[in-house]
Amino acid sequence: MIFIGKISKYFNSQNYVIIAFSNEGFRIIKSQVNYFEKSNEQVGIYPIKSGSTAWDELKAGKGMVVQSSINKIIKIKKMYLGYLDQDIYQEYLQPVYVFLGEDNFVAYVSAITQEYLIE
């Protein structure tokens, strides 16, 4: 699996506003919006793995654990297809399967079949 740059924690966002509230009102402490231009000309179609293949890869240790507060057997409660949201530019959106489990466990498995990954 190829991930470029660092992966932020799952429950954070690249876009945020930090506000301090007081009796007098509020004050914006910090804000950030990461936006990368997209190309309408660079499009393509490629096959993705099945959810069961991604699940097998996660069980085989081929995924990336993004967040885990425990070191034991984890029950996965939800799995869905999404896009990797990084804080640095990458040329293509990378589809990933996201696995959410007990105790804030989060892992990603690339949804693109190996033959289509850019190395």
36-45, 47-56, 71-80: segment of lowest average pLDDT: 36-45
pLDDT band at residue 7, thresholds of 50, 70 and 90?
very low
Residue range 18-50, pLDDT digits in tens:
888 888 888 888 888 877 777 778 777 778 999
Per-domain boundaries in the chain: 16-116
| Position 89 pLDDT exceeds 50 | yes
β-strand pairing of 64-67 with 76-83: unpaired
Q: In whole angstroms, what is the distance from residue 75 CA to residue 109 CA?
A: 17
